[in-house]
Amino acid sequence: APSFVHLSTAIAANTSKCLKIAAQNVYLEGNGAWTGETSVEMLLDMGLSHVIIGHSERRRIMGETNEQSAKKAKRALDKGMTVIFCTGETLDERKANNTMEVNIAQLEALKKEIGESKKLWENVVIAYEPVWSIG
């Protein structure tokens, strides 16, 4: 998943049918006047089929909530994309024995947004990435 400015280069260089290029993020609204944001429609126009949502850096630095991540996922799934949905706890949460609670809350927000639709869940990849292990 290269940065947005390198996506088109990665797409053009990808000659493998097995390798999928993913975007690192997407905006939770559709096309519109969202300066600096990238909509699902834009990613699809580029030929992308996969997007990472809820990465720990988005949550920590940008303040992205579980609910916002879930809304982004729903929007991408509704448009036919595959969502790589990130979950994970911080070191403080781990030390407080809250690993399960944090990850369940992240997944519950996703479940609340997309419901029980087997069609949508078939296009969700859960990426467990403990925040404390990054670096």
Q: Supply the CATH number for residue 80's domain.
A: 3.20.20.70
- Known catalytic residue: 55? yes
Does residue 82 lie in a domain region?
yes
Dist CA 54 CA 85 (whole Å): 6
Predicted confidence (pLDDT) at residue 18 exceeds the cutoff of 80: yes
The total of other beta-carbon atoms located within 10 Å of residue 103's CB is 17
Does residue 34 lie in a domain region?
yes
Range of the domain at 76: 22-39+65-135
Percent of the chain with pLDDT over 70: 99
What mean pLDDT, rounded, does the chain reach? 93
Own/partner contacts of 19-23, CB < 8 Å, gap of 24 or more, are 20/49, 20/50, 20/82, 21/48, 21/50, 22/48, 22/50, 22/51, 22/52, 22/84, 23/48, 23/50, 23/51, 23/52
Does residue 123 lie in a domain region?
yes
Say which residue, 17 or 86, is predicted with more confidence. Answer: 86
Provide the whole-model pTM. 0.92
Predicted confidence (pLDDT) at residue 43 exceeds the cutoff of 90: yes
Check 55, 64, 89, 113 and give the catalytic one. 55
- Strands, sheet with 50-53, edge to edge from the N-terminal-most edge strand: 22-23, 50-53, 82-87, 124-128
* CA distance readout (Å), 54 to 13, 15, 118, 120: 27, 28, 21, 17
Predicted confidence (pLDDT) at residue 135 exceeds the cutoff of 80: no
Give me the pLDDT at residue 72, please. Answer: 97
Check 29, 41, 93, 129 and give the catalytic one. 129
Can you tell me whether residue 31 is helix, strand or coil? coil
Give me the pLDDT at residue 2, please. Answer: 87
Give me the pLDDT at residue 118, please. Answer: 92
Does residue 83 lie in a domain region?
yes
Predicted confidence (pLDDT) at residue 28 exceeds the cutoff of 80: yes
Reported as type and span, the H/E element at residue 61 is: helix 56-61
- Known catalytic residue: 6? no
Number of domains in the chain: 1
